[in-house]
Structure 1
Amino acid sequence: MPVSAQEALRITRVLEQKLDGRQKSIRVWNDFFGGRHNLAWASERFKLAFGGLFADFADNWCEVVCSAPAERLTPVGFRFGTGDEDLVPADREAQKIWQANSLDAWARVAHTEAMVKSRAFVLVWVDDPEADVPEPHITVEDATQCIVAYEPGSRRRRVAALKRFDGEDGFTYATLYLPDEIWKWRRSGSLVAAGSPVQSGLILPPGLATQWEPRGDDPEQQRIDNPLKRVPMVELRNRPRLVDDPTPEHQAVIPLQDATNKLIADMMVAAEEGAFPARWGTGIDLPKDPLTGQEIDDPELWRLSVSKMLRASNPQAKFGNFEAADLRNFVAGITMLTEHISAISRTPPTYFMGKVENVAADALTASEAGLASKCRDKTMFLGEDWEEVLRLAFLVKGDDKRGNNPLAETIWRDVEYRTEAQHIDAVLKRKALGVPWRQLMEDAGYTPTQIDRMERMLEQDADRAARALAFKTPEGDDFGDGLDDVGAEDREAGAVA
């Protein structure tokens, strides 16, 4: 149902306030993923002693924890419906839409953003509204710019969405997406200039949040109809919950990351101050200044090198050195923390090791079982979101049958890493059970486009084989050997056969 401009502005303000409330957490999560840590557990004494020496230091495991599942989540195709012959071509049409919008690459970005910021968004609209045949335009959107509102009591039915962003002309723009219409606003000043929470973690001043005005002088630029009759923005949520908000992949790892940074910083300080043996000497007569008679305490006299040696006139003089600091205690603590990070995040221990030696293949597979299981769970929820994206894309094309098909299914690449021999062996065992050829090819990791191409190749190979056999007798002799004994009509008939 259409709403008034006043009501649309009210919804915009409510969504903007909720969007502002997320910015501080998103900035922290993004900083830890990018390695911008703050040595949170360093004492004031440590900070006074070393100042900003370690300001840019980070042993960043948060990136590993977030990237490990994201790199295994790869959609390769879609199915629309089962047992309905009218919907068989949907796979190819969906693949065309997917490729036309470069989603084979941008889907990976969307998954990474969801792992880091707990959410990512996908916007579906018309590429060229003036075109005779409308084509969908699909873009991945950032969690700092977008928010989706749901019907009370539902986590699926979208009732509104907002995208807010800075323009290059000094204005801040906002677009409100409703099921029946779309409203466009702008206001003077940019988010950065206004102290946006995106940059500084501050909430926008209340006065600034109420200064939205219609975008442009033309009323048609402010409000347009939504022909899709659905909110065209889909939210990809990481680790969704029933009541609580989704969380980033590395949220539980952040305290352990702080502790790891603290131990490594302490180890570096110990390495600088006590990792090399300190020397001592007793009963040494210091040289004296011949003019003043005072002892000369010149550090250069005691700075040793390969070409220098210490000597003393006192026969009772002694020399020695202290034991160097043992850094293995720090290494043991750091190893313990990385093991905890691995266990909590279900990231394989091999991801935290610089090298892997003498590890059996079965042991490596077992160590990745937790990550593979976690990724399979993610494909269930993310698959539902991508199916909704493709439904919206078909609505843009005017295909209501596919746009409202509840039987859509996302085809994912296998989330488990296996050797080629293990993979093919599993496929051959499925073949022995009678699994159809096309399903076997999907299990082998081929995309629907590759499978279609292989089917055409098989048909061409079969056609060439049939034509070759057409010129052979059952005994294997060429028909051509006896063509001289028959008439021209028989030769022509044989050639056609």
Structure 2
Amino acid sequence: MSAQEALRITSVLEQELDRRQAEITLWNNFYKGIHNLGFASDRFRQAFGGLFEHFADNWCEVVCDAPAERLTPVGFRFGTGDEDDPPAADKDAQRIWQSSNMDAWSRVAHTEASVKARSFVLVWAADPDADEVEPEITVEDATQCIVAYEPGSRRKRKAALKRFAGDDGYEYATLYLPDELWKWRRALAPSGLVLPSSLALERWQARGDAPTQLRIDNPLGRVPMVELRNRPRLTDEPTPEHRQVIPIQGALNKLIADMLTASEAGAFPARWGTGIDLPKDPLTGQEIDDPELWRLAVNKMLRASNPQARFGNFEAADLSNFVAGITLLTEHMAALSRTPPTYFMGKVQNVSADGLTVADAALASKCRDKTMFLGEDWEEVMRLGFLVKGDEKRGRNPLAETIWRDVEYRTEAQHIDAVLKKKALGVPWRQLMEDAGYTPTQIGRMERMLEQDADRAARALAFPAPGEEPDDEAEEDVPESAGAPV
């Protein structure tokens, strides 16, 4: 491909990336609690000024984090197509996953997709010049990356672009194609901000003078960037987890602002008095309305010379109506987002274990759906990792499978009880351990421990009990390294 054609593709992807920026910024601000205070009344601003300038009772963060915290890949399998040879968790895949710290960064990828509708994962060689090339997996941000697909396909990646600002006054971009990579740079605006492509100071230029800094061969034969989509649709764009509750979040903020205003203006009982002879100015003869007259304290009291004088106070404002409205909106937010009400409650009272399980069922079901789509994306990431290592067999294996930790919340007693019942049905030991929540690394370690325990038991049985004659044949079978009984 010519440099001119590569620039054309870069420009097209840039324009679409620019179009997404406004929505992503809005979604991210609501997640972080940076909400627009346009709902606040003038009286609220007069009462509090800038005291609550950044106020937000932020539930969008809870809605986004609730599913993300349950999505944990723990391993990968690569099938052989032989039904008589069920595959175990792939140890090489686990090593690739661990070497890139993906136990932690996969959680970040899921959270970013939950907040910004998309996140991206890039797979490339950690050190292309090393004797043994190892893959490196990195999580990329939706404001910097975009993936384009072949016409009519939602899986076949045609191109990808990553654009970011450096700290040296330049903006950088890399165009990823199935057979090549193109690297560009251009000067940043004086403020250091990344401008939209239509307002850029200059066109993209090669990163350096050497040709290898402009174009690089892609030995993988695939675009090495994978898009993780949240709530994917057939024709509509993916959406963040809190998209449908953003209007409710605004209404909640308004109700709480109104409640704060009412608490400032009417939560304390105002006093009144009638038939009181106010002191008069001896020069003008006008009554003096002394504010100190009504500043009461523990050591002060009101008195009047007029026997008809009366004192009293108005009732304080009732804030319970605001609380009821806030509770109603919070319940609607929980229902729309399928987030258990317990996530929105400060305390749980008179709720049985079965009730908690039912409340959690909607979120668990949503998370299981997410594992199906995200599992396909992580499998493609791992295939790319093996292609980097030159392993064509696993790099192009369509029978890959992502192993997920159980997304359903259960107590330890409930969890183990379910495993024991599966054991009674004849479920194999390794599958029981996976259902119990152990990772492939833990299961492999336990298998070795079981073998060691069995070996110790066999050596112990080879020695005679006290008072018995030794068995010559048993002595011949005992290895010299067995030593004393364990």
Q: Structure 1 residues 204-213 or 399-408, which shifts more?
A: 204-213
- The question of whether the paired residues in 1 share the 8 Å contact of 2:44 and 2:258 is answered with no
Structure 1: distance between partners of 2:58 and 2:33: 5
Q: For the residues of structure 1 that align with 2:331 and 2:281, how far apart are their CA atoms?
A: 60
Label 1:82 to 1:307 Cα distance change in 2 as closer, same or farther (>3 A): farther
Asked whether the equivalents of residues 186 and 215 of structure 1 are also in contact (C-alpha less than 8 Å), the reply is yes
Deviation digits for residues 345-402 of structure 1, max 9, x if unmatched? Answer: 0000011100001210000000010000000000000000000000000000010000
Aligned to 2:428: 436
Give the structure 2 partner of residue 341 of structure 1: 333
Question: For residue 367 of structure 1, what is the aligned residue in structure 2?
Answer: 359
In 2, distance between residues paired with 1:250 and 1:268? 26
Deviation at 1:206, TM superposition (A): 2.0
1:301 Cα offset (Å): 2.1
5+ long unaligned stretches in structure 1 = 197-203
1:6 equivalent in structure 2: 4
Q: Name the structure 2 match of 1:256.
A: 248
Q: Is the 8 A contact 1:147 1:162 kept in 2?
A: yes
Q: Any residues of structure 2 matched to 1:114-133 within 5 Å, and which? A: 114-133=113-132
Aligned match for 1:395, one of 375, 387, 390? 387
Whichever residue aligns with residue 32 of structure 2, its letter is G
What letter corresponds to residue 209 of structure 2 in structure 1? D
Asked whether the 8 Å contact 1:13–1:210 carries over to 2, the reply is: no
- Asked whether the 8 Å contact 2:463–2:470 carries over to 1, the reply is no
Query: Is residue 187–residue 201 contact of structure 2 (8 Å, CA) maintained in 1?
Result: no
Aligned length: 479
**Match for residue 23 of structure 2?**
25
Q: 1 CA distance for matches of 2:235 and 2:259?
A: 43
- The match for 1:69 is 67
In structure 2, how many angstroms separate the alpha carbons of the residues matched to 1:265 and 1:238?
32
SS at match of 1:186: strand
Equivalents in 2 of 1:53, 1:119: separation in Å? 35
Structure 1 residues 312 and 458, CA, compared in 2 at 3 Å: closer, same or farther?
same
Show the counterpart of 2:456.
Answer: 464
Amino acid across the alignment from 2:39: W
Query: Whole-Å Cα distance in 1 between the matches of residues 68 and 374 of structure 2?
Result: 11
Query: Aligned to 1:31, what secondary structure does the other structure show?
Result: helix
- Checking the alignment, whether the CA contact within 8 Å between 1:80 and 1:87 is kept in structure 2 is no
1:247 is aligned to: 239
The verdict on how the C-alpha distance between 1:469 and 1:195 changes in structure 2, with shifts beyond 3 A counting, is: closer
Q: 1:265 aligns with which of 252, 257, 278?
A: 257
Q: Within 5 Å, which residues of 2 pair with 1:42-57?
A: 42-43=40-41, 52-57=50-55
Q: Quick one: which of 425, 436, 448 aligns to 2:417?
A: 425
Match of 1:79 among 46, 67, 77: 77
Distance 1:111 1:301, change over 3 A: same
Equivalent position of 1:318 in the other structure: 310
User: 1:167·1:190 contact (CA, 8 Å) conserved in 2?
Assistant: no
2:231 matches 1:232? no
User: What CA deviation, in whole Å up to 9, does each residue of 1:231-255 have, x standing for no partner?
Assistant: 0000000000011110000000000
Contact 1:171-1:189 at 8 Å conserved across structures: yes
Please give the root-mean-square deviation of Cα atoms over the aligned residues, in Å: 2.2
Match of 1:296 among 288, 302, 315: 288
State the TM-score, normalized to the length of structure 1: 0.92
Compared with structure 1, are the counterparts of its residues 318 and 170 closer, same or farther at alpha carbon in structure 2 (3 Å cutoff)? same
User: Hey, what's the Cα distance between the residues in 1 that align with 2:470 and 2:367?
Assistant: 66
Q: Secondary structure at the match of 2:19?
A: helix
| Shift in Å, 1:426 | 0.4
1:39 aligns with 2:37: yes
Query: 2: distance between equivalents of 1:455 and 1:177?
Result: 43
**Cα separation, partners in 2 of 1:140 and 1:495, compared to 1, 3 Å:** closer
Aligned equivalents of 1:429, 1:478: Cα separation in 2: 43
Taking the TM superposition and a 5 Å limit, the aligned residue runs for 1:103-118 are: 103-118=102-117
Asked if structure 2 preserves the Cα contact closer than 8 Å seen for 1:38 and 1:55, the reply is no
Q: Give 1:295 shift.
A: 2.6
| CA deviation map 1:107-154 (0-9, x unaligned) | 000000000000000000000011111000110000000000000111
What residue in structure 2 maps to residue 155 of structure 1?
Answer: 154
Matched residue SS, 1:252? helix
Unaligned runs of 5+ residues in structure 2 are 481-486
What percent identity do the matched residue pairs reach? 75
